[in-house]
Amino acid sequence: MKRDPQRPEERPEPPPCPLLSSSSPSSPSGQAEGAGLTAPVWIFGYGSLVWRPGFEFTSRKVGFIRGYSRRFWQGDTFHRGSEKMPGRVVTLLEDCGACTWGVAYEVRGEQVAASLQYLNVREAVLGGYDTKFVEFHPQEKDVEEPILALVYIATPQNPSYLGPASEEDIAAQIIVSSGCAGHNIEYLLRLADFMRYFCPQAEDKHLFSIEEALISILPCLYYTEESLEETASVPQKSKG
């Protein structure tokens, strides 16, 4: 039977997450895990993880990673889309002059295995993301050294990768997509809101151009009370 990589149950097994060691209770890491002494792990989120981590964490910091740009270039047939209408979610594009802002979460003790097992399913198995380690730079200046963090990146080799498209086409695809986690519009707007409120100093032309394109297609999303009153006060053109 032809393998359909789009179907989650048929997706090729993702590479094992480096931190989910199959350590036995007798091995040092197994004993540490058993005693809840696992070393803390930092997980960097830059898409839905910034507003819906979905796992328990000890602390979190807003900040950025260097050398990557955020792009709505990953298809999604589960969380924010379907097999017939794949949604678009974000991944990272290697871009040596760029920074991507997001949130790093610190997990400790039993939170480590629980969060990594949860994310392995949500991101790797269902989302097509791989894992790698990056240097995270907290926004707070009291932390000098960057923090090593795990990040989930969807590479062009994964079967759901969609790659570049115009901001207008991406917005149009987002407007018609929804999945098990909700509408793709919510995914875009919550990420844009996160950036506006928590990283107002950061630029993200790609994200805000898509949001702008979406508003021009769906202005109702962004009418405020005042603008509706203004519109109402505009004298109606006489039908002639």
Q: What whole-number distance in Å separates Cα of residue 190 and Cα of residue 234?
A: 32
Contact 46, 90 (CB under 8 A): yes
Site for ligand GSH in 177-196 (CB under 6 A): 181, 187
Active site residue 123: yes
**Whose CB is nearest to ligand GSH?**
47
Q: Does 47 bind ligand GSH (CB under 6 A)?
A: yes
CB nearer to ligand GSH: pick between 174 and 213: 174
Query: In whole angstroms, what is the distance from residue 41 CA to residue 20 CA?
Result: 12
Residue 46: helix, strand or coil by DSSP? coil
Min dist. Cβ of residue 169 to ligand GSH (A) = 19
- With CB under 6 A as the contact rule, the residue among 11, 19, 38, 46 that binds ligand GSH is 46
Nearer to ligand GSH, 33 or 79 (CB): 79
* Nearest CA among 127, 147, 129 for reference residue 137: 147
Q: Which of 48, 158, 173, 177 binds ligand GSH (CB under 6 A)?
A: 48
Total H helices, total E strands in the chain: 6, 7
Stretch that binds ligand GSH, among 8-16, 76-84, 139-147, 211-219 (CB under 6 A): 76-84
Specify the amino acid at residue 30: G
Residues 113-132 that bind ligand GSH (CB under 6 A): 122-123, 127, 129
Q: Are 180 and 173 in contact (CB under 8 A)?
A: no
Q: How far apart are CA 175 and CA 184, in angstroms?
A: 7
- Site residues, ligand GSH (CB under 6 A): 45-49, 52, 76, 79-80, 89-90, 122-123, 127, 129, 152, 181, 187
The residues carrying an active-site annotation are: 123
